[in-house]
């Protein structure tokens, strides 16, 4: 699991990063809101630990920005323990709220619990719905409105990965690695498959509303109903 740890207390970050890495997590760090936002936009994360009080962009605002692009699990980590702060954090989009000082092992247990709850529910559900697109992971079928669309196995796997992570940008190399199970050397293969998928699910493949190209970064699935895009 790749975690983005965001906090301006450098001593806390150093110690927590070490503990998380000892538990097998891959940890990236940021010490301000603007640095965190830049890293979030440039990388792919499975989990975010977010301090509420940050310089430049506060944690609440940052959480809203993350939620506009991704449903990545977020734990807010803060010294503010008033119940109204906890409610505001959860309403903003955080999945859990931990106050300082905290027990590191309890935090790690919460990370794993939230991760199981978020990703486990996605895996348990046989249907993923995004706007008029309905993907049945059990039957390996995709419908666009009332129309069933035939996809190859690799096309289905690519679309499933993107639909399960709306708003998350995947590089071509990462898509190849996750779908083909090997190092992403032939990235042109991804472009060909994405083009084929667009031709099958988009009304206008030259102006896609579902699978979007992030120039210089890769591809992502646009979150929300296409009618509201």
Residues 170 and 107 in one domain: no
Residues 145 and 212 in one domain: yes
Residues 109 and 133 in one domain: no
Residues 88 and 135 in one domain: no
Domain range holding 206?
127-228
- The CATH number covering residue 24 comes to 3.40.50.2300
Q: What is the DSSP string of the chain?
A: -EEEEE-S-HHHHHHHHHHHHHTT-EEEEESSHHHHHHHHHHS--SEEEEESS-SSS-HHHHHHHHHHH----EEEEES---HHHHHHHHHHT-SEEEESS--HHHHHHHHHHHHHHHHHHHHH-SEEEETTEEEETTTTEEEETTEEE---HHHHHHHHHHHHSTT--B-HHHHHHHHHSS----THHHHHHHHHHHHHH-SSTTS-SSEEEETTTEEEEPPS-GGG-
- The CATH number covering residue 150 comes to 1.10.10.10
Q: What is the pTM of this model?
A: 0.54
Final residue in a domain of this structure, among 97, 123, 149:
123
pLDDT in tens, the chain (229 residues): 899 999 999 999 999 999 999 888 899 999 999 999 999 999 889 899 999 889 999 888 999 999 888 888 899 887 766 666 667 667 778 888 888 888 899 899 889 888 877 766 555 457 788 888 888 887 778 888 878 888 888 898 899 999 988 889 999 988 988 888 777 666 788 999 999 999 999 999 999 999 999 888 899 998 754 433 3
Residues 175 and 154 in one domain: yes
Residues 22 and 114 in one domain: yes
Residues 117 and 15 in one domain: yes
């Amino acid at each position: 699991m790749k975690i983005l740890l965001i906090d301006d207390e450098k001593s806390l970050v150093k110690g927590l990063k070490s503990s998380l890495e000892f538990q097998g997590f891959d940890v990236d760090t940021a010490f301000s809101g603007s640095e965190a936002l830049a890293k979030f936009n440039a990388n792919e994360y499975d989990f975010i630990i977010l301090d509420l009080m940050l310089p430049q962009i506060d944690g609440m605002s940052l959480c809203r920005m993350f939620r506009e692009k991704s449903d990545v699990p977020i734990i807010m980590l803060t010294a503010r323990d008033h119940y109204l702060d906890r409610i505001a954090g959860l309403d903003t989009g955080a999945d859990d709220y931990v106050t300082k000082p905290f027990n590191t092992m309890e935090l790690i247990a919460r990370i794993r619990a939230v991760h199981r709850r978020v990703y486990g529910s996605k895996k348990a559900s046989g249907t993923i719905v995004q706007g008029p697109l309905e993907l049945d992971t059990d039957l390996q079928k995709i419908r666009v409105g009332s129309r069933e669309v035939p996809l190859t196995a690799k096309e289905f796997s690519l679309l499933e990965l993107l639909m399960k992570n709306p708003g998350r940008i995947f590089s071509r190399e990462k898509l190849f690695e996750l779908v083909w199970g090997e190092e992403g050397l032939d990235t042109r293969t991804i472009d060909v498959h994405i083009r084929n998928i667009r031709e099958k699910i988009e009304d206008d493949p030259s102006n896609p509303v579902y699978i979007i190209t992030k120039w210089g970064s890769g591809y992502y699935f646009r979150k929300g109903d296409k009618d509201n895009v």
